[in-house]
Structure 1
């Protein structure tokens, strides 16, 4: 699985899982929402292991940029709250940072 697909899948799974917990604790949804939330978070963790990286910390750091952009997409498409220009600029900066982390030249170990 390409790293981009792993990151996007992981972001969707993480955001959906966290949203299920948010909905239970903040939106008075029933306790059964925690079950798919927990499963979604487990799926997130597994998907993140599929990222092509020799170091977990680097994979997690680069994922952070994708997570931020995906969270704003969730804000817009699921919660119906369109991100403003500052959200968009911030997400773009984070995605550039993620690209630098992923594509930067590495010395042979």
Structure 2
């Protein structure tokens, strides 16, 4: 379940931030802020669905998923193919996120 919450949160956060980017950097209408804000609220809600004992650990693991989703956004939405450095960095981050999520812990 956590991976679906993380993927949904990543898409919602990227879409919300892109709405602000479009308004401030691309000269789009301020109306872009309405769905952007709703998307950022959805992002925050989805992160609360992750079953983790500590919010900081859930957020840290989410960071790796966010990075991979951002590289996919770059490729699919912005039509810019990631280079080997993008892909290598994303792979390292997702390994780090997996360690955080699935490490054995003694609570």
Corresponding residue number in structure 1 for 2:101: 102
Are positions 1:79 and 2:61 aligned together? no
Q: Aligned residue pairs: how many?
A: 107
Corresponding residue number in structure 2 for 1:56: 55
User: 2:49, 2:63 → 1: CA distance?
Assistant: 15
User: 1:5, 1:52 → 2: CA distance?
Assistant: 12
The secondary structure found in structure 2 opposite 1:50 is: coil
What 5-or-longer segments of structure 1 have no aligned partner?
none
User: 1:50, 1:82 → 2: CA distance?
Assistant: 32
Distance apart, 1:52 and its partner CA: 1.5
What 5-or-longer segments of structure 2 have no aligned partner?
none
The two structures have a TM-score, normalised by structure 2, of 0.99
User: 2:2, 2:81 → 1: CA distance?
Assistant: 27
Distance apart, 1:82 and its partner CA: 0.7
Say what the alpha-carbon RMSD is for the aligned residues: 0.4
Distance apart, 1:42 and its partner CA: 0.1
Are positions 1:16 and 2:15 aligned together? yes
User: 2:51, 2:96 → 1: CA distance?
Assistant: 17
Are positions 1:33 and 2:32 aligned together? yes
